[in-house]
Structure 1
Amino acid sequence: MIILSGKAGGIIILRRFIKVISPLLLLPSLAMAAYPDAVQVLVDEGLKVEASFDAPGGLKGFVGRRNGHSISLYLMPDGEHVVIGKMVDGFGQDLSAEHLRNWLPKPDLTGAWQELADSAWVSEGPSDAKRIVYVFSDPNCGYCVVFREKAQPFLERGIELRHIMVGIIQPSSLAKAASVLGAEDPVKKLEFHDSQFPRDWLESEENVPQDLRRLVQSNNQLMESLFVAATPSVFYKDRDGAIRKIVGLPDDSALSEAVFRDPE
């Protein structure tokens, strides 16, 4: 047994200690990579993986969201390749839709109502309404025009509709949305764009004032954070006060029985 003391001994022990721990210094990057490389690449690009599971065919399944879209992906048995998209069985059944239903958690909308209230919106209906409905609306969205038309009779019953203006569909969308938010009479400006649809309004977004640009971009980001990727997307409260959402144009029964039901 050799015992070293003093400075020399300390240096030798330190060197041996460094040799032992130096391989461990490489581990954090490996340990922090929560997914195989083929999946991690997508995570680095913005995919939020929310669940993994054993999929048919010996594959490893993952479900998550990116830019408001729900996504299913499947890791091949070699662990090095990923297939993104729909999985079907021999009967033509959409297994991916089932995987999304079973494994993808519902978004937590607990704080969404205040976020919606704090966004940049245009109001139709009574300002003292007992019931409020929010809708993300793009001026280049034909279904948004239809939704607004269908909403008008309900507003006369004491319901306020707040249009959260976004610009996501066409290059002119941002400029159109900004023009509504910045107009002296926003509802009249919204009506103008509705009357012009589907003709393109050749207004460059380069001419949009920075304050209005930021408002529209903030609305775009809010829409993405609430995991909605299409317009119109409607948010309302059910009879128990829970926040509900419908992505896309609601059918007539949903409009009358849920979204625009009579104020209580």
Structure 2
Amino acid sequence: MAFRIALLPAALASLHATTAIYADDWPAPIQALVEQGLEIHGEFAAPSGLTGYAASHQGREMTVYLTADGNHAIAGSLLDAEGNDVGEAALYERIRQPQEKMVWRQLEASHWIADGRDDAPRVLYTFTDPNCPYCRRFWEATRPWVEAGEVQLRHVLVGILQQDSPAKAASLLGAEDPAAALREHSNGEDVAPTAQPRDIEDQVYRNNQLFEELGFYATPTTVYYLDERLDRVAGMPEEERLREMMGSETP
């Protein structure tokens, strides 16, 4: 699948449903596919008199082509003389791009702690569990870019690794100065799990839900834009990938 963030099928199915187009006047072959569970996300021009449709079924993207006489539909890829998939751009425009924007809005609306300047030109969201050793390594590795004001990391606190992870995540989110608390914790002063107001505990719960809904499975998982496309890295990245994520060589 070309969608870089590589969501799990269940998550994709949920997002696909929000971008699907519903109509009662599809051509008969397309309507037959819709009645079998296919979701149509948009129509696009195709060569040789065909009409293309960007579609999905249970989270799986596909293109469907209607013949010029309107009597038959062909599901699958259509290649040009150079082997290029003529429907690839339509799948991105009609399905993946709206998904990526929706994921970014969900991240913006999640509960996170900012690490770095608010006017940093580059923003990344990273899911962080307080008991995750690789999250601390990621914190350390990103210091040059964060301290240079080039990157702001937004730590979406989750509690998934150990029994006290949710309480520790809530302690960080509920601290008087969450950024300072996260900095101390990441520098080795382990945060203590303490009771927090219900709304703070709910923030951790909702972050956990988002983590699962997006099909993520490891911490840190970091989401960012690369070449105007949404990308993600699960775990601690290698040095070359880290520089790609940060958007530049080490300051």
Q: TM-score, normalised on structure 1?
A: 0.54
Alignment of 1:120 with 2:111, yes or no, is yes
* Cα 1:126–1:157 shift into 2, 3 Å: closer
- 1:164 maps to 156
CA distance in 1, matches of 2:59, 2:207: 24
CA distance in 1, matches of 2:114, 2:235: 20
Classify the secondary structure of the residue corresponding to 2:100: coil
Classify the secondary structure of the residue corresponding to 1:109: helix
What runs of 5+ residues in structure 1 fail to find an aligned partner? 1-31, 33-48, 52-105
- 2:175 maps to 183
Matched-pair identity in %? 36
CA RMSD of aligned residues (A): 2.8
Alignment of 1:139 with 2:100, yes or no, is no
Matched letter for residue 212 of structure 1: I
Q: Is the 8 A contact 2:168 2:192 kept in 1?
A: no
* Cα 1:191–1:126 shift into 2, 3 Å: closer
* Cα 1:242–1:165 shift into 2, 3 Å: same
- 1:250 maps to 237
Question: Cα distance, 1:247 vs. partner?
Answer: 1.0
Deviation string 1:195-250 (CA, Å, 9 cap, x unpaired) is: 447x7x6636xx332101100010001111111011000000002x1110111111
After the TM superposition, which parts of structure 1 deviate over 6 Å for at least 4 consecutive aligned residues? none
Q: Is the 8 A contact 1:172 1:202 kept in 2?
A: no
Question: Cα distance, 1:152 vs. partner?
Answer: 0.8
Question: Cα distance, 1:158 vs. partner?
Answer: 1.8
Q: Is the 8 A contact 1:137 1:233 kept in 2?
A: yes
Classify the secondary structure of the residue corresponding to 2:143: helix
Q: When the two structures are aligned, how many residues end up with a matched partner?
A: 158
Matched letter for residue 236 of structure 2: L
CA distance in 2, matches of 1:196, 1:159: 22
Higher Cα Rg, which structure: 1
* More moved, 115-124 vs 157-166: 157-166
Q: 2:139 aligns with which of 148, 167, 171?
A: 148
What runs of 5+ residues in structure 2 fail to find an aligned partner? 1-35, 37-57, 61-95
